[in-house]
Amino acid sequence: MAITDNVIPHEKRPGDGPLTRYFLSACDGFVTMSRSVLNDLQNLGFGRKPALYRPHPLYDNFGPLKLKSEALAALKLPDTMGYLLFFGFIRAYKGLDIMLEAMADKRLADLPIKLIIAGEFYEDAAPYEELIRHYKLEDRIIRATDFIPNEKVVDYFCAADLIVQPYKNATQSGVSQIAYHFERPMLVTDVGGLAELIPDGVVGYVVPPTPGAIADAVVNFYAEHREAAFEAGVREQKKQFSWPVMVAALKEVAAKSQ
């Protein structure tokens, strides 16, 4: 049995195809984290093996929710600002460059908000630093680009008004499930399987992966005071992402594969 986040790597390397097929051939069944991965399995020729789509359950290992005021105090951030959070390893496909270009939008520049970049660089940081300098974003960015221990994750999520995932391509994202656990509104791009978990206008926004579309959503979020409504939507939607649902899917695929 295989739980499959991705069967086609985000960054392609020589040998990916044969090695992936070698591994998948050894499996009797699959539970996929997104429908796009389910389609990938079929396109790779494994459509006859038992497979089910089930989104990843909530990441509840980071502790209980905190009040925003407590999280801001823990991070030593003033409560006079709003905060957007980009969280996780910084890799090219995750679109931090798009988010930085969105932050350069004059409408966002006029808002009392900052972007928290929380996660280690998986690649060279220089291109991102150049964008920050080019768009004069230094005073509107908060860097937390060292290793973030599990016990600090709660502070970053609970301090944020909106969790942003400006990905260029994706199958699914564990960041969404952390955001669901901490009941935070989200902004995701309409790529891969991201939109499957984020009902647009209910828990946040699903937008094209462009700086303008992202800026439009952020402006709407603050201008229309959407945080409370989205929080309520998140609390309702998160009920479907339980570990018993995942276990049941594994048992069902195992039974079909025998």
- Name the residue ranges covered by the structural domains of the chain: 2-57+242-257, 68-239
Percent of the chain with pLDDT over 70: 98
H helices within the chain, ranges in order?
16-25, 35-43, 68-74, 96-103, 106-109, 126-134, 150-159, 174-181, 211-223, 227-237, 243-257
Task: Select the highest-mean-pLDDT range: 31-40, 152-161, 167-176.
Answer: 152-161
- pLDDT of amino acid 172: 60
Residue 192 predicted with pLDDT over 70: yes
Contact 165, 189 (CB under 8 A): yes
Contact 208, 189 (CB under 8 A): yes
User: Can you tell me the distance from the alpha carbon of 160 to that of 154, in angstroms, rounded to the nearest whole number?
Assistant: 10
User: E strands along 23-177, which residues?
Assistant: 30-32, 51-53, 82-87, 113-118, 141-144, 162-165
Residue 13 predicted with pLDDT over 90: no
- The domain 68-239 is classified under which CATH number: 3.40.30.10, 3.40.50.2000, 3.90.1150.10, 3.30.2010.30? 3.40.50.2000
Which two tokens mark 7? 């069967």
pTM (predicted TM-score): 0.80
Going by pLDDT thresholds of 50, 70 and 90, the confidence category of residue 8 is confident
